[in-house]
């Protein structure tokens, strides 16, 4: 969900960068601009389910909501640790803030992100999270959220048909063939995994590309992603400015989505000078039709990609 779609200068209706992401019941926050906690309250994002925050870079409009949120989480009686993934400098910043304003009762674990190509920085049961470097004026990272490959499902009817044992089912689910033997240990039958199983769903993925100038590697790094968020500070009328500030136009964003073969693109981080965003949307859609404008409170859903076999059951 978009919590903030503005760039550095917020407007009366657009807050600085902040986004929430829910995967399998887990809540993630990606960037935390000023007012993030108010937007969470407004759009009923459950504070209690937040354990992990990913910060793209240490510019104020991506960070200034963190101090208030940390304090509010403390007031909710939180005791479990809060993990913050961010570039170098976050620990020092939090130390200064807690020197002045006090430390929360729960632990904050800062994970310093330092990489160039996509690197696995964090994994959960069903989800891998990668960081990759962007090209901005300071050290900046994008984040890629990928569901893990699921265990294979065994075709139901085949269980009774072939009298599959629990052990055999386990073997097939892991993607291995079952080799049956007689009492003498001689091979009698091979049940080929591909004949007995199907992939219950295709893993979904989401890439967050925060402030960045365009660069060719990016489209490779987010290849095949279902949903990509990409900053689009300007329309092409300010292409020159986008270069000097190391930002992207909405067309730049659309080109990344197209080249990456993404299914859907959400653009955000709009310069406050655009009162009307139609131009940004048009320019992006002329390159990549499945482009949408981020807007506070808007939810972009990635539908489950169940296999036809799974859907039938």
Q: Annotated catalytic, 61? A: yes
Measure the CA–CA gap between 18 and 6, rounded to whole angstroms: 9
Measure the CA–CA gap between 58 and 18, rounded to whole angstroms: 13
Give, as ranges, the residues between 90 and 109 that touch a second copy (CB under 8 A). Answer: 92-93, 96, 100-101
| Comparison of 40 and 281: residue with beta carbon closer to a second copy | 40
| Residue tagged active-site, from 61, 211, 226, 252 | 61
Given 2, 16, 20, 31, the residue binding a second copy (CB under 8 A): 16
Q: Are strands 18-23 and 26-32 parallel, antiparallel or unpaired?
A: antiparallel
Q: Is 246 left (phi over 0), alpha (psi -120 to 50) or beta?
A: left
Q: Taking CB under 8 A as the rule, does residue 223 contact a second copy?
A: no
Contact window for a second copy (CB under 8 A) among 17-25, 33-41, 177-185, 277-285: 33-41
Measure the CA–CA gap between 230 and 268, rounded to whole angstroms: 7
Q: Please, are residues 193 and 175 in contact by the beta-carbon 8 Å criterion?
A: yes
Beta-bridge partners for 198: 153
Q: Taking CB under 8 A as the rule, does residue 174 contact a second copy?
A: no
Tokens of 180: 């049956």
| Comparison of 119 and 139: residue with beta carbon closer to a second copy | 139
Q: Taking CB under 8 A as the rule, does residue 68 contact a second copy?
A: yes
Task: For the CB of residue 94, give the shortest distance to a second copy in the complex, in Å.
Answer: 11
Q: Please, are residues 78 and 104 in contact by the beta-carbon 8 Å criterion?
A: yes
Q: What is the dihedral of CA 231, 237, 241, 245, to 10 degrees?
A: 0
Task: For the CB of residue 70, give the shortest distance to a second copy in the complex, in Å.
Answer: 9
Contact window for a second copy (CB under 8 A) among 54-62, 123-131, 188-196, 304-312: 54-62
Q: Please, are residues 229 and 19 in contact by the beta-carbon 8 Å criterion?
A: yes
| Comparison of 67 and 206: residue with beta carbon closer to a second copy | 67
Contact window for a second copy (CB under 8 A) among 24-32, 60-68, 119-127, 153-161: 60-68
H helical segments located in 147-236: 156-161, 166-173, 193-196, 217-221
Report the Cα 232 to chain-centroid distance in Å: 17
| Comparison of 100 and 188: residue with beta carbon closer to a second copy | 100
Sign of CA dihedral 303, 307, 310, 312: positive
Given 22, 71, 106, 119, the residue binding a second copy (CB under 8 A): 71
Q: Taking CB under 8 A as the rule, does residue 8 contact a second copy?
A: yes
Task: Give catalytic residue positions.
Answer: 61
Using CB under 8 A, list all residues that contact a second copy. Answer: 8-13, 15-16, 34-35, 37-38, 41-42, 44, 58-61, 64-65, 67-68, 71-72, 75-76, 89, 92-93, 96, 100-101
């Amino acid at each position: 969900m978009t919590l903030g779609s503005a760039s550095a200068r917020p407007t009366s209706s657009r807050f600085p960068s902040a986004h929430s992401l829910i995967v399998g019941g887990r809540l993630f926050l990606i960037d935390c601009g000023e007012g993030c906690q108010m937007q969470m309250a407004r759009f009923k994002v459950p504070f209690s389910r937040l354990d992990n925050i990913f910060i793209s870079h240490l510019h104020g409009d991506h960070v200034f909501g963190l101090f208030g949120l940390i304090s509010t989480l403390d007031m909710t009686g939180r005791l479990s640790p809060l993990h913050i993934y961010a570039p170098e400098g976050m620990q020092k910043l939090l130390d200064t803030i807690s020197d002045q304003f006090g430390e929360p009762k729960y632990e904050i674990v800062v994970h310093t992100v330092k990489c160039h190509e996509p690197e696995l920085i964090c994994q959960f049961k069903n989800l891998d999270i990668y960081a990759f470097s962007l090209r901005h004026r300071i050290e900046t990272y994008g984040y890629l959220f990928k569901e893990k490959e699921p265990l294979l499902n065994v075709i139901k009817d085949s269980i009774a048909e072939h009298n599959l044992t629990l052990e055999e089912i386990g073997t097939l689910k892991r993607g291995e063939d079952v080799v049956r033997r007689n009492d003498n240990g001689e091979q009698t039958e091979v049940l080929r995994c591909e004949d007995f199983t199907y992939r219950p769903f295709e893993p979904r993925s989401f890439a967050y590309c925060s402030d960045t100038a365009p660069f060719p590697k990016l489209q490779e790094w987010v290849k095949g992603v279902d949903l990509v968020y990409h900053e689009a500070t300007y329309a092409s009328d300010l292409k020159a400015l986008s270069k000097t500030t190391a930002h992207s136009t909405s067309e730049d964003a659309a080109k990344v989505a197209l080249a990456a073969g993404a299914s859907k693109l959400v653009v955000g981080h709009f310069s406050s000078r655009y009162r009307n965003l139609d131009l940004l949307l048009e320019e992006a859609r002329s390159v990549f039709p499945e482009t949408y404008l981020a807007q506070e409170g808007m939810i972009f859903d990635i539908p489950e990609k169940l296999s036809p076999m799974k859907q039938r059951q």
